[in-house]
Amino acid sequence: MSYFKELRVEPGARVDLEAIDADFRPDGPSRDEAEEEFRELTEELRGLQHLMYAEDKRSLLVVLQGRDAAGKDGTIRHVFGPMNPQGTRVTSFKVPSKEELAHDFLWRCHKAAPKRGTVGIFNRSHYEDVLVVRVHGLVERDIWSRRFDHINAFERLLSDEGTLILKFFLHIDREEQLERFKKRIDNPKKNWKISDADYSERRHWEAYTEAFEDVLSKCSTDVAPWFVIPANRKWARNLVIADIVAQTLRDLEMRFPEPEVDMAEIRRKYHEAERSG
Ligand code: AMP
Ligand code: MG
């Protein structure tokens, strides 16, 4: 099955999140089989990232969005953790600083875009400026509503200049979120993750749904598609995201660059060095 095709939001299609089952599990593999498949995919992803780094022609930007406790941190750890840190960079977007607020909303994101040969991961992103900003009325409607076009133009620019873009919305339902909040309370190692905002944001569930649906419907393009990832089951989420990223990188048919040196000459020098010790 191609998760890429199945979970991609068709450009221009209207998304109804209520209609998408957050509990979805890939039919076919059992959980154990899926975990084995996932391990193989992360190995493959390491190789593909290495190739991208060596080729030094393109970059990959992964955007992660989702409600509190949707699993953005876990996705980064499990799916992208095995990659070589030398070629990856994670940027977590928090409440903007004074300096950031004094610029246009894309300024801080553009600076964090991945350089050639590397993988950039956005843990939250420029989309916060049409999500939390909209839900809390941090700027006027006529300002945030213009941002969808700016976002599409920004992503088109990155794409034109050699960046592949994949955007994942981690879709959990209300019950799952509450369950995860409970685990954060019950597990002392997770207490630090709790924030008051988790609960106040939950009260805006419907407003966020509307804002996410607009994002997914207006900003899924051929060059920067959105995927709605059913994320109640962490193992299914990991498998599906790894599969989509791997498929995308595989399709590039990347090649190691030709060596810049004359290999015959280098071999001759090596044998000479070997002889003389
Ligand atoms: P966390 O991801 O749990 O560390 O929380 C980061 C917080 O920063 C979230 O509550 C986001 O909604 C908030 N945030 C991120 N970007 C923006 C933004 N552009 N404007 C306002 N709040 C933001
Ligand atoms: Mg949080």
* pLDDT of the residue at 104: 98
Residue 271, both tokens:
């044998």
* 29 — pLDDT class (breaks 50, 70, 90): confident
Please identify, by atom number, the ligand 1 atom nearest to the C-alpha of residue 195.
3
Q: Which tens digits make up the pLDDT trace of 178-223?
A: 999 999 999 999 999 999 999 999 999 999 999 999 999 999 999 9
Rounded (10°) CA dihedral 7, 220, 92, 232: -20
Cα(274) to centroid(ligand 1), Å: 59
The CA distance from 228 to 59, in Å, is 22
- State whether the beta carbon of 194 lies less than 6 angstroms from ligand 1: no
Look at residue 277 in the predicted model and tell me its pLDDT: 83
What tens digit of pLDDT does each residue of 130-187 get?
Answer: 999 999 999 999 999 999 999 999 999 999 999 999 999 999 999 999 999 999 999 9
**pTM of the predicted protein model:** 0.96
Residue nearest to atom 8 of ligand 1 (CA): 94
Q: How far is the CA of 111 from the centre of ligand 2 (A)?
A: 23
CA of 263 to the centre of ligand 1 (A): 52
95 within ligand 1 shell (Cβ under 6 A)? yes
Best of 92, 126, 128, 129 for a ligand 1 pocket test (most atoms within 8 Å of beta carbon)? 128
Cβ(37)–Cβ(239) below 8 Å: yes
Residue 27 has pLDDT above 80, yes or no: no
Cα(208)–Cα(214) distance, rounded to whole angstroms? 10
Question: Which residues partner with 169 through β-bridges?
Answer: 65, 228
Average pLDDT score over the chain: 96
Nearest atom of ligand 1 to the alpha carbon of 131: 12
Atom of ligand 1 nearest to the CA of 126: 19
% of the chain at pLDDT higher than 70: 100
Report the distance separating Cα 102 and Cα 96, nearest Å: 9
- For the cut 70, the answer to whether the pLDDT of residue 36 exceeds it is yes
Which residues does 254 contact at the CB level (< 8 Å), separation at least 6? 48, 51, 52, 55, 57, 58
pLDDT of amino acid 141? 98
Section 24-43 average pLDDT: 90
**3-state SS assignment for residue 69:** coil
Closest C-alpha among 136, 144, 138 to residue 218? 144
